[in-house]
Amino acid sequence: MSEKKPFITLEQAKRIKAEYPTPFHIYDEAGIRRTARALNQAFAWNKGFREYFAVKATPNPAILQILREEGCGVDCSSETELMLSKACGFSGEEIMYSSNNTPGHEYARAHAQGAIINLDDYTLIETMEEAIGVPSVISCRYNPGGEFSIGNRIMDQPKDAKYGMTRAQLTQAYRELMQKGAKDFGLHAFLASNTLTNAYYPTLARILFETAVDLHRETGAHIAFINLSGGVGVPYRPEDTENDIAAIGEGVRIAYEEVLVPAGMGDVRIFTELGRFMLAPNGAVVTEAIHEKHTYKEYIGVDACACNLMRPAMYGAYHHITILGKEHAEADHLYDIVGSLCENNDKFAIDRKLPQIDRGDILYIHDTGAHGFSMGYNYNGKLRSAEILLQEDGSVRLIRRAETPADYFATFDFMNLQLD
Ligand SMILES: *Cc1c(COP(=O)(O)O)cnc(C)c1O
């Protein structure tokens, strides 16, 4: 069980709403710092540990700066993410470039910023070489194929994933890169998403550690770091059990002691690229109930829509909802909570038991701090919302203004449209 408790009260929400109209995304600085510190603590046993926050989860400079203050680096996957990271002061090996299907000019920018390049495929060696040559530090992404299981539970199907190299390609890539001057190697894999088990990282780590020992023996390559990537999940549902990051760190430490240390590889640095775990619970969507509709079902229409939070529409993802001020009221109504898109999947909740909702009530949609705002879009001409930071002293700060129609029409700026 996980307690789904909003990090703002109804009174706070009303005060914020008076200045910044709903809907908006809000983030909890104290929670972000707590999460980052717990992660760093869990891996403090590893000299050189670093979390490279997955920028795509929450690409906002204020958020990246908080994480930077907590000692994190950034994991980028596009040129604009590289530009944002540079603007936030990240440079050199504080940046990981974990892209795929990568055009050469992206490698050129990553390299110019000193980022560590994490190659998704064997054929990308040539693309990279043409763009920048072969850097002395280089990482390769592994896909072991088959099914990825923990115990007898199937977690995911790496054989169907577009990412990473086969085992044979890894050896080939390491040999070729060494020949061309690479000195320090990294090994990376991302085998399951949003995992709710303390065994995910330790299981993945053991696979990567054993692979690293073999690769070192086969090729003589110096393996400097192992990147466990993202995939540590969060309890979106109240009945979910929260991951224990201290236990996860300890599980990885045991695998490290058992596999890497006896092989004389006790200097390997551990990296992570978490997005969801760092930010999801530390963000929420705040939206007002603006209509009710009684037809074949009971609907509550809110002023946010799937353009603000795509996960329910795209994945059928569950996001818990609290009606602020009615935290302790009985959930004796059955509602669909909907946005205003001309798309029937524009529903934040389907057949959800909630307390009675009245027009003007403020809904708090939980766990939207990662892959929330950033997956937003403009369908139906909807505009993206503001992002707001709840600072440690309890005050709020606008960290992205809401889009205006001018933003929406900006890409027609060469056409001289007469808009009003
Ligand atoms: C998306 C992504 C992450 C972050 O994943 P989470 O599920 O948010 O932890 C990390 N690394 C890579 C390469 C990714 O594509």
- What are the tens digits of pLDDT across the range 17-57? 999 999 999 999 999 999 999 999 999 999 999 999 999 99
User: Are 114 and 132 in the same domain?
Assistant: yes
User: Are 123 and 210 in the same domain?
Assistant: yes
E strand or H helix that includes residue 286: strand 283-294
For ligand 1, whether the C-beta of 125 sits within 6 Å is no
Residue 8 resides in a domain:
no
Tell which residue, 212, 217, 220, has the closest CA to residue 256: 212
* Contact residues for 420 (Cβ-Cβ < 8 A; gap 6+): none
| 157-161-165 Cα angle (round to 5) | 110
Tell which of 276, 301, 324 closes a domain. Answer: 276
Two tokens, residue 418:
């007469």
Angle between helices 104-112 and 124-132 (to 10 degrees): 50
pLDDT at 1 over 80: no
User: Are 255 and 366 in the same domain?
Assistant: no
Residue 11 resides in a domain:
no
Residue 7 resides in a domain:
no
Substitution site in 273, 278, 368 for ligand 1 pocket (most atoms within 8 Å of beta carbon) = 273
pLDDT computed for residue 228 by the predictor: 98
User: Are 269 and 285 in the same domain?
Assistant: no
> For ligand 1, what atom is nearest to the CA of residue 371?
8
Tell which of 251, 276, 301 closes a domain. Answer: 276
pLDDT computed for residue 178 by the predictor: 98
User: Are 247 and 294 in the same domain?
Assistant: no
d(CA 191, CA 400): 33
Distance from Cα 372 to the centre of ligand 1, integer Å: 14
Residue 286 resides in a domain:
yes
User: Are 288 and 202 in the same domain?
Assistant: no
**Predicted confidence (pLDDT) per residue in 162-175, tens digit:** 999 999 999 999 99
Tell which of 238, 259, 276 closes a domain. Answer: 276
User: Are 208 and 136 in the same domain?
Assistant: yes
pLDDT at 3 over 90: no
Distance from Cα 169 to the centre of ligand 1, integer Å: 23
For ligand 1, whether the C-beta of 119 sits within 6 Å is no
User: Are 262 and 296 in the same domain?
Assistant: no
pLDDT computed for residue 40 by the predictor: 98
User: Are 208 and 86 in the same domain?
Assistant: yes
For ligand 1, whether the C-beta of 274 sits within 6 Å is yes
The domain of 182 spans 30-276
Distance from Cα 231 to the centre of ligand 1, integer Å: 6
For ligand 1, whether the C-beta of 370 sits within 6 Å is yes
Looking up residue 53, the CATH number of its domain turns out to be 3.20.20.10
Counted domains in the chain: 2
For ligand 1, whether the C-beta of 190 sits within 6 Å is yes
Residue 23 resides in a domain:
no
Which residue stretches of 113-237 are H helix? 124-132, 167-179, 200-219
> Which residue has a Cα nearest atom 9 of ligand 1?
230
d(CA 36, CA 33): 5
Looking up residue 368, the CATH number of its domain turns out to be 2.40.37.10
User: Are 243 and 311 in the same domain?
Assistant: no
Residue 22 resides in a domain:
no
Two tokens, residue 386:
């503001």
For ligand 1, whether the C-beta of 75 sits within 6 Å is yes
pLDDT computed for residue 420 by the predictor: 82
Distance from Cα 263 to the centre of ligand 1, integer Å: 29
Range with lowest mean pLDDT among 195-199, 378-382, 414-418: 414-418
**Predicted confidence (pLDDT) per residue in 128-162, tens digit:** 999 999 999 999 999 999 999 999 999 999 999 99
d(CA 11, CA 27): 17
pLDDT at 91 over 90: yes
Residue 300 resides in a domain:
yes
User: Are 221 and 296 in the same domain?
Assistant: no
For ligand 1, whether the C-beta of 59 sits within 6 Å is no
Segment 319-347 shows an average pLDDT of 98
2 — pLDDT class (breaks 50, 70, 90): confident
Tokens 């890894």 — which residue?
170
**Predicted confidence (pLDDT) per residue in 253-266, tens digit:** 999 999 999 999 99
Residue 328 burial (CB < 10 Å; 0-12/13-18/19+)?
Answer: exposed
Distance from Cα 277 to the centre of ligand 1, integer Å: 10
Residue 9 resides in a domain:
no
User: Are 69 and 90 in the same domain?
Assistant: yes
